[in-house]
Amino acid sequence: MDIVILLGAPGSGKGTIAARLASEDSRLRHVSSGDLLRGAVAKGTPAGVEAKGYMEKGALVPDALVAQMIKDVLAETEGDVTMLLDGFPRNVAQAEILERTGAPVRSVVLVDVPDEVIAERIAGRRTCPQCKAGYHVKALPPKVEGVCDKCGAALVVRKDDNPETVKDRLVVYHRETEPLVAFYEAKGLLRRIDGDQGPERNAAAFKSVM
Ligand code: ADP
């Protein structure tokens, strides 16, 4: 088992890239901290109850809470798989926790998208609450408006995808997550791709550097 970390702002398309690559290659496993947390919130587990308020504000949930979820996934992952880790680590403290688990990080790929593009992308974002597939009303529309191509569920706008919360999430990204670029660059693990090429070419670019 090894790990490829996806770094990028909210709405940079890292989740879309990871989901696409994982659907094409059974040795790749997409692990999204945001999906794990939303699952815990939906189930009402103690971790979910604690995380909910932070998520709705666009703040980071406590490091220990999210780190434990990721450690659980690492512990149950065996064999010849590459984990595409999306949304974790999100600050230097989390990166250090990951390092202490001893899990091998193969590379860290920064999906680079300007802030101006992000705001528009998130405004059009739609998500399947059931199978977690992501769509965009213009860039990646479902075949039938409002309906998930994969499982037929009604698509929703995520609660934290409103313009005010998006602004806060971008501030948090620049302050907390961006320092990871230098952190992993210093370790010689960082690669960058232009994340503004459309879903298919983004995924191909990612695959070629990961
Ligand atoms: P996006 O990448 O679009 O911001 P995510 O689904 O990755 O969306 O995250 C949604 C929310 O979940 C974040 O705003 C934050 O509250 C919480 N979250 C996800 N991953 C982490 C993490 N590693 N540490 C702290 N909070 C997290």
Dihedral over alpha carbons 43, 49, 50, 56 (to 10 degrees): 90
| Ligand 1 centroid, distance to 10 Cα (angstroms) | 8
Integer-rounded Cα radius of gyration of the chain: 16
Atom 19 of ligand 1: nearest residue by CA position: 34
Ligand 1 pocket mutation, candidates 56, 66, 173, criterion most atoms within 8 A of CB = 66
What single letter denotes the amino acid at residue 144? V
Write the DSSP string, 84-111. Answer: EEES---SHHHHHHHHHHTPPEEEEEEE
Residue 167 backbone class (left: φ over 0; alpha: ψ -120 to 50; beta: rest): alpha
CB 22 within 8 A of CB 28: yes
pLDDT digits (tens, 9 = 90+) for 50-98: 999 999 998 999 999 999 999 999 999 989 999 999 999 999 999 999 9
Per-residue pLDDT at 163 exceeds 90: no
What single letter denotes the amino acid at residue 111? V
Between helix 92-101 and helix 63-75 the angle, nearest 10°, is 30
Per-residue pLDDT at 120 exceeds 90: no
Banded model confidence at residue 131, pLDDT cuts 50, 70, 90: very high
Q: Is 144 strand, coil or helix?
A: coil
- Sheet of 28-32, strand order: 28-32, 82-86, 2-7, 105-112, 190-194
Bridge-based pairing state of the strands 105-112 and 190-194:
parallel
The pTM is what? 0.90
The atom of ligand 1 lying closest to the CA of 67 is 23
Q: Catalytic pick from 29, 57, 71, 158? A: 158
Q: CB of 33 closer than 6 A to ligand 1?
A: yes
Mean pLDDT of 36-43: 96
